[in-house]
Amino acid sequence: MKYDLQDLIAMAAAARDKAYAPYSHFRVGAALLTAGGRVYTGCNIENASYGLTVCAERVALFQAVAAGEREFTALAVVGGDLEACFPCGACRQVLAEFAPDLEVITGRPGGSIHRRRLRELLPDTFTLK
């Protein structure tokens, strides 16, 4: 199945609604598109021990990897009411392990869309490969 950018943004927004964010109250959703056309979603999950919080982007990626996926083409992120919410540095590094040329899309449903390649967001990725 082919998805357009607004479809992925809408899926990320739907995932955001499931976020567990009782501390920051900043809910984030992500929708990760595989090379095979499947979409995996994730939301941020906070913890009282704040360092144990997991971002939406990593939740989506970890679900996909756990399902056997290894190739990804696009990631949509919707955060709070922000017009643009790009992944944090930790998420950028984890995503780069699998898809350094990933297209990262952010925005709001029905609003403007911002697009970058992961390499632009994290130009000097740490790698052992």
Binding site, annotated residues for substrate:
44-50
- Is 83 an annotated catalytic residue? no
The alpha carbon of 125 is separated from its chain's Cα centroid by a whole number of angstroms, namely 17
Question: Would you tell me how many other CB atoms lie within 10 Å of the CB of residue 3?
Answer: 17
Find the catalytic residue in 57, 69, 83, 103.
Answer: 57
Q: Are strands 72-79 and 28-34 parallel, antiparallel or unpaired?
A: antiparallel
Tokens of 15: 């995932």
Residues making up the binding site for Zn(2+): 55, 88, 91
Q: Are strands 28-34 and 39-43 parallel, antiparallel or unpaired?
A: antiparallel
Residues making up the binding site: 44-50, 55, 88, 91
Question: Which parts of 12-111 are beta strand (E)?
Answer: 28-34, 39-43, 72-79, 103-107
Residues annotated as part of the active site: 57
